C-alpha cells in the first residue's frame, strides 16, 4: 500500500527514521515537532520512571499484609 511505513515507496524501515531525518522534519513541521517531543517524553518515562515504579510495586507485593489486616474498629470509626 502506498505511503505505508516500511513500504518501498518510503525507502525507510518504518516509523523509526534516523535521528537526523527526524530532527529535520521536526524543524519544518509543528505537528512533527510535537510528536517528536512525545517520543522523547515516552523514552524518558520508560527509562527513568517505570523502573522506579516497578521496584516499588515489587516491594509492595513482597511486603507484609499486616496493614491490610488491621480491624476497621482500630481506626476509631
Residue 24 lies in a domain: yes
With residues binned 3-state (H G I as helix, E B as strand, rest as coil), the percentages for the chain, rounded to 5, are 60, 0, 40
CA end-to-end span of the chain, whole Å? 65
The alpha carbon torsion through 67, 69, 73, 77 (nearest 10 deg) reads 50
Residue 56 lies in a domain: yes
Domain assignment of residue 36, given as a range: 19-64
Retrieve residue 61's grid coordinates.
507485593
Residue 51 lies in a domain: yes
Domain count, the chain: 1
Residue 1 lies in a domain: no
Residue 40 lies in a domain: yes
- Per-residue confidence (pLDDT) for residue 1, from 0 to 100: 43
How do the pLDDT tens digits run along the chain, 77 residues long?
444 444 444 444 555 667 778 778 778 888 888 988 999 999 999 999 999 999 888 888 888 778 788 888 888 86
Please, are residues 35 and 41 in contact by the beta-carbon 8 Å criterion?
no
Amino acid at each position: 500500500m502506498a505511503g505505508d511505513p516500511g513500504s518501498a515507496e518510503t525507502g525507510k524501515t518504518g516509523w523509526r527514521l534516523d535521528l537526523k531525518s527526524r530532527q529535520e522534519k521536526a524543524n519544518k513541521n509543528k505537528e512533527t515537532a510535537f510528536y517528536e517531543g512525545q517520543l522523547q517524553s515516552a523514552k524518558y518515562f520508560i527509562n527513568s520512571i517505570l523502573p522506579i515504579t516497578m521496584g516499588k510495586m515489587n516491594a509492595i507485593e513482597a511486603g507484609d499484609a499486616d496493614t491490610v489486616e488491621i480491624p476497621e474498629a482500630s481506626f476509631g470509626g
